[in-house]
Amino acid sequence: MKSELDFVRYLKKIKTFDRNIIEGIGDDCAIVKFNSKKKYVITSDTSLLGPHFTKDYTPEEIGHKSLATNLSDISSMGCIPLYALYAITIPRISEPWIRRFYDGARKLLNEHKVSIIGGDTTKGPMSISITLIGVQKNKILTRSGAKTGHDIYVTGNIGNARAALILDKRTQGHKHFRKYLVKPLPRVSIGLELSEFASSCIDISDGLAKDLKSIAISSKKGFQVDIDSIPTDPKFDIYVKGDFKEQCILGGGEDYELCFTANKKYCKKIKHISDKYKIKITKIGVIKSTKYRYFLKNKQYNPKVSGYDHFRYE
């Protein structure tokens, strides 16, 4: 076992016992049927000091980001978030820190009408684990529905979070991109709209190259992507140079934008959603029957990056 993917493959071999489990390990959320009309989605995500937030984060930023990453999983399934359970490990009880932490989460909790229904608190090195439960509105989106010939889209701009990480904290570039790293905006409303017609979806948490490959593997398909069409911030080329560009656009995680596929006939509907929410939705490629191909400046290109893996450097 050398990677997260190896670990997931191992866990998927363990027997499940309930026929109401529609989708278990391997997608952004599990899907469980509790009655004949509704299916629920369940996700759990952990944020740690180091890989997910650093000592310069405010308590408000930690509160926002740790919830936003879970909401992003729900959005990628095209579902409505409902309930949250917080399992928090902190070095000591500090009422000001706790109040500020939940102040950071409160805007998202209120915006998406998410209720905190329980959890656990322990003493130790800081770790924030949230389990989020949502319910379907339309079709539940998964990674496995992409079809040959369907277009590939992404929401927003790609590479902002990685740009903030690689740029020196004293630079203007870091200051410009930092807000995208510490306060990502989960695309819950867009995910709900996409659930009416999209064929597959994933949130970009580990890097576009890795997450798009997850769609391809789950759907047993290939893809073709035009790197030049991947949308970036207007100031991206000013602050990000050389090989760092590819690292940000293809390998950088934590954007929490949506990558989805859809039949070509829905292009006008996608434009309408983009205009409605004033968020770019950009076509970057097409699903193919086999092979993963990237093009740069109209020539086939082999990326040097593959995406984030917690265990790669052990």
pLDDT at 243: 86
Question: pLDDT by residue (tens digit) across 258-308?
Answer: 999 999 999 999 999 999 999 999 999 999 999 999 999 999 999 987 654
244: β partners: none
How would you class 282 by CB atoms within 10 Å of its CB: exposed for 0-12, middle for 13-18, buried for 19 or more?
Answer: middle
CATH dotted code for 13-136: 3.30.1330.10
* Across 186-198, average pLDDT: 97
Residue 314: per-residue pLDDT: 40
Q: Where are the alpha helices (DSSP H) in 148-304?
A: 160-166, 172-182, 188-194, 208-219, 236-239, 244-246, 267-277
| pLDDT score, position 12 | 66
Would you state the pLDDT for residue 5? 64
Give the model's pLDDT for residue 36. Answer: 74
The residue that leads in pLDDT, 94 or 24, is 94
- The pLDDT of residue 62 is above 90: yes
Task: Give the pLDDT confidence of 231-257 residue by residue, as tens digits.
Answer: 999 999 999 998 899 999 999 889 999
Class of 151-301 per CATH? alpha beta
What residues pair up with 40 in beta bridges, in sequence order?
32, 135
Residue range 53-64: mean pLDDT, rounded: 91
Rounding to the nearest 10 degrees, give the CA dihedral for residues 152, 4, 120, 22.
60
pLDDT digits (tens, 9 = 90+) for 214-228: 999 999 999 999 999
Q: Average of pLDDT values for 149-154? A: 98
Task: Provide the sign of the torsion angle of the four alpha carbons 189, 192, 198, 199, taken in this order.
Answer: positive
What is the Cα–Cα distance from 67 to 86, expressed in whole angstroms?
9
State the Cα–Cα distance between residues 218 and 213, nearest whole angstrom.
8
Q: How confident is the model at residue 51 (pLDDT cuts 50, 70, 90)?
A: low
Above pLDDT 90, what percent of the chain? 79
104-140: b (≥16 Cβ within 10 Å) or e: bbeebbeebebeeeeeeeeeeebbbbbbbbbbbeebb
Let me know how many helices (H) and strands (E) the chain has, helices first.
10, 13
Q: For a pLDDT cut of 70, what percent of the chain falls above it?
A: 91
Q: Where are the domains of the chain?
A: 13-136, 151-301
